[in-house]
Amino acid sequence: MSKKHSFVKIKCPKCKKDAELTRDFSSVKCNFCGFDRSYGEYVKFIAHNELKYSDILGDYTGSTEGHTSGSLDEWD
In the complex with Zn ion, which residue's Cβ is closer, 8 or 57?
8
Are 7 and 20 within 8 A, CB to CB? yes
| Residues that bind Zn ion in the complex, under the rule CB under 5 A | 12, 14-15, 30, 32-33, 35
C-beta of 18: minimal distance to Zn ion in Å? 8
Which has the closest alpha carbon to 28: 16, 15, 37?
Answer: 37
In the complex with Zn ion, which residue's Cβ is closer, 16 or 59?
16
Residues 6 or more apart whose CB falls under 8 angstroms from that of 71 comprise none
C-beta of 16: minimal distance to Zn ion in Å? 7
